[in-house]
Amino acid sequence: MPGDMLMPSMTKKTTDDRLNPNKIIVYYGGACPKCIRDRRNYEKLAGDSSEDVCWFDITGQDQRLRQIGIDPRKALTELHVGDKDGRIISELDAYILLMDKVPLLKPLAWLIGLPLIRPLLARIYHWQVKRRLRKRTLI
């Protein structure tokens, strides 16, 4: 996608990272139309806080994903986010972290984290992802 930012090195801080210590990295499928729509929607909702997010297209990046501890196959089926400390967070925890950056989405992040809601949403999320990947014959 035009305008995608390259992921900064996890070991070397860039000038932007030092100026913005709260920046997170979202690993998303740039070849996935739904992922691209989700990214655009997030950026619209986030407004200025979208500057706290660096987007890294995982398409064709299997080796890089392995280097940072993400299974490339799982990268297709689960959202992965690198937090400000360089830890990789996945699935609903990644969504919670991402949504927590946007004031409008903070209540939703809290709701998703509730013990009774989280397992149900996880099942729905995995079902939808698998269905999407089957349609694209990726699994």
Separation of alpha carbons 13 and 45, rounded Å? 27
72: tokens are: 């490339």
> Does residue 19 have a pLDDT over 70?
no
Position with higher pLDDT, 137 vs 8: 137
pLDDT at 24 over 50: yes
Query: How far is Cα 136 from Cα 127, in angstroms, rounded to an integer?
Result: 14
Mean pLDDT of the chain: 83
**What does pTM read for this prediction?**
0.76
Q: Which two tokens stand for residue 84?
A: 């400000």
Domain ranges of the chain: 15-135
80-127 residue pLDDT tens: 999 989 899 998 899 999 999 999 999 999 999 999 999 999 899 888
Q: For residue 137, what pLDDT is reported? A: 67
Question: Which secondary-structure segment (H or E) carries 95?
Answer: helix 91-100
Give φ, ψ of 34 to 5 degrees: -65, -40
Q: Is 26 helix (H, G, I), strand (E, B) or coil?
A: strand
CA nearest 52: which of 89, 97, 90, 106?
A: 97
